[in-house]
């Protein structure tokens, strides 16, 4: 019998293209099924992730989740860049009450969670870190739900603006708190300070340099949307990869690029490019992988605290918006809906928990269970909350 060594071993190895394609198809299916139940598509993607992830059938092993990191980074890059472009400095400058809303929204969410956890006797630093992570709303969820609904209006604009700002606040607060954790372990300032400083300044600087090149490149290309689209995708993927290689924060770097590309574009060279169908591909992957990464195992033990965490975080955000919203020109009745729309938490929080626990394992053991459980719950109800808020506000587009 001749040797059939040209035949592959079975089953075929899950190479990145196979994986990418499969995730897309499964996500697509999940999204369409979700539509049947009037759920947001991204909830469908997430549930597919949960189903095939380690919690479910286990098709997506932790190894595969790690390997798909590149797709996730690209998706996050596209989203953060887009969100950064919604942070309009001129608007904040003209509408001081809006600026106050943004500050208060982050600060109150932090305080509510911090004092809540302190009340349940969590140590100050741990409580502060968990609270800092809770400042952020999920950029991916709010942006994609708004896109899916073709939502437009004051509530949508403010939701995106506040999300961009609270993401920045969350990251900086977490990064600032990390050295204190180190200090608690009796490490000296000399060992603890350089790392967060490097991440923050490095990410900002990289963002600044990239946005400078983006604007120059756009000026050179001229007003041609197809070319500018390719340029932007190229820049974003490159920057996301670069940030990862330099051990910088993909979040801060891309958000910085988006914010600066918008606010330093004095000559209006950059066009309002939509990522459209191309971007959609990556977003499916992003949420399937987010679903696969969700942890439900510790949920039962920390359900109460995780629930409190969610409620307090919501109350903090809502209080700020109720107090300052009207002053900033929000119509009556919209403040509550805006607060609801800011409920989602997601991958961003998971990344911050991981950063914290890798530097300080004890934190992981104590509080990451609470935060990750809260994230798991909010990943599932957050998109629904945002969709509900935008629809109730009458800002969703008409069905086509």
268 binds another protein (CB under 8 A): yes
d(CA 271, CA 262): 10
399 binds another protein (CB under 8 A): no
208 C-beta neighbours (distance < 10 Å), count: 14
Please identify, among the stretches 87-95, 187-195, 196-204, 353-361, the one whose residues bind another protein according to the rule CB under 8 A.
87-95
Interacting residue with another protein among 8, 272, 276, 333 (CB under 8 A): 272
CA dihedral over 61, 64, 68, 69, signed as positive or negative = positive
331 binds another protein (CB under 8 A): yes
Q: Are 168 and 136 in contact (CB under 8 A)?
A: no
Interacting residue with another protein among 45, 79, 88, 312 (CB under 8 A): 88
Closest by CA to 243, choosing from 72, 115, 35, 90, is 72
Write down the least CB distance from residue 342 to another protein, Å.
18
Decide whether 28 or 393 has the Cβ nearer to another protein. Answer: 393
Interacting residue with another protein among 22, 56, 65, 154 (CB under 8 A): 154
CA dihedral over 19, 23, 24, 29, signed as positive or negative = positive
Paired tokens of 74 = 């690209």
Q: Is 325 exposed, middle or buried (0-12, 13-18, 19+ CB in 10 A)?
A: buried
Q: Is 354 exposed, middle or buried (0-12, 13-18, 19+ CB in 10 A)?
A: middle
Alpha helices of 223-346 — where are they, by DSSP H? 225-245, 250-263, 276-292, 299-324, 334-341
398 binds another protein (CB under 8 A): yes
Q: Are 97 and 324 in contact (CB under 8 A)?
A: yes
Q: Are 338 and 321 in contact (CB under 8 A)?
A: yes
x/- mask, another protein, residues 161-200, rule CB under 8 A, reads ----------------------------------------
Q: Is 245 exposed, middle or buried (0-12, 13-18, 19+ CB in 10 A)?
A: exposed
Interacting residue with another protein among 153, 202, 307, 336 (CB under 8 A): 153
Interacting residue with another protein among 95, 195, 263, 392 (CB under 8 A): 95
Q: How many residues contact another protein, by CB under 8 A?
A: 26
Paired tokens of 298 = 């510790």
Please identify, among the stretches 133-141, 148-156, 176-184, 302-310, the one whose residues bind another protein according to the rule CB under 8 A.
148-156
276 binds another protein (CB under 8 A): no
105 binds another protein (CB under 8 A): no
Decide whether 125 or 264 has the Cβ nearer to another protein. Answer: 264
d(CA 312, CA 317): 9
267 binds another protein (CB under 8 A): yes
298 binds another protein (CB under 8 A): no
Decide whether 191 or 225 has the Cβ nearer to another protein. Answer: 225
Please identify, among the stretches 30-38, 56-64, 166-174, 325-333, the one whose residues bind another protein according to the rule CB under 8 A.
325-333
Q: DSSP of 80-92, one letter per residue?
A: HHHHHHT--HHHH
Decide whether 328 or 346 has the Cβ nearer to another protein. Answer: 328
266 binds another protein (CB under 8 A): yes
Write down the least CB distance from residue 330 to another protein, Å.
8
395 binds another protein (CB under 8 A): yes
Q: Are 264 and 211 in contact (CB under 8 A)?
A: yes
91 binds another protein (CB under 8 A): yes
262 binds another protein (CB under 8 A): yes
377 C-beta neighbours (distance < 10 Å), count: 19
**Interface residue list for another protein (CB under 8 A):** 85-86, 88, 90-91, 94-95, 150, 152-154, 157, 222-223, 262, 266-268, 271-272, 328-329, 331, 395, 397-398
């Amino acid at each position: 019998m001749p040797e059939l060594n040209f035949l592959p071993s079975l089953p075929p190895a899950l190479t990145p293209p196979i994986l990418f394609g499969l995730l897309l198809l499964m996500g697509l299916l999940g999204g369409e099924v979700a539509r049947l139940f009037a759920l947001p598509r991204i909830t469908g993607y997430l549930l597919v992730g949960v189903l095939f992830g380690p919690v479910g059938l286990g098709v997506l092993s932790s190894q595969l989740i790690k390997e798909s990191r590149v797709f996730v980074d690209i998706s996050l890059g596209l989203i953060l860049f887009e969100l950064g472009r919604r942070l309009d400095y001129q608007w904040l400058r003209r509408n001081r009450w809006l600026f106050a809303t943004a500050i208060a929204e982050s600060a109150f969410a932090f305080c509510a969670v911090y004092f809540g956890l302190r009340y349940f006797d969590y140590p100050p630093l741990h409580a502060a870190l968990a609270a800092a992570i809770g400042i952020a709303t999920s950029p991916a969820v709010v942006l994609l739900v708004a896109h899916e609904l073709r939502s437009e209006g004051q509530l949508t604009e403010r939701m995106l603006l506040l999300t961009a700002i609270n993401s920045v606040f969350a990251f900086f607060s977490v990064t600032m708190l990390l050295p204190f954790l180190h200090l608690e372990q009796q490490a000296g300032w000399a060992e603890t300070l350089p790392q967060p400083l490097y991440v923050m300044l490095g990410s900002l600087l990289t963002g600044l340099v990239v946005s400078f090149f983006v604007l120059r490149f756009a000026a050179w290309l001229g007003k041609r949307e197809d070319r500018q689209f390719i340029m932007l995708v190229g820049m974003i993927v490159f920057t996301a990869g670069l940030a990862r290689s330099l051990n910088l924060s993909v979040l801060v770097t891309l958000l910085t690029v988006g914010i600066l590309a918008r606010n330093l574009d004095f000559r209006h060279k950059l066009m309002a490019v939509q990522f459209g169908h191309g971007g959609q591909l990556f977003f499916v992957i992003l949420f399937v992988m987010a679903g696969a990464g969700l942890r439900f195992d510790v949920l039962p033990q920390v359900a109460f605290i995780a629930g409190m965490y969610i409620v307090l975080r919501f109350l903090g955000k809502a209080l700020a918006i109720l107090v300052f919203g009207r002053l900033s020109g929000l119509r009556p009745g919209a403040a509550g809906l805006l607060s609801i729309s800011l409920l989602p938490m997601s991958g961003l929080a998971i990344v911050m928990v991981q950063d914290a626990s890798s530097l300080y394992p004890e934190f992981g053991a104590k509080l990451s269970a609470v935060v990750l459980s809260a994230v798991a719950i909010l990943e599932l109800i957050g998109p629904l909350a945002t969709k509900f808020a935008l629809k109730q506000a009458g800002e969703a587009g008409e069905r086509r």
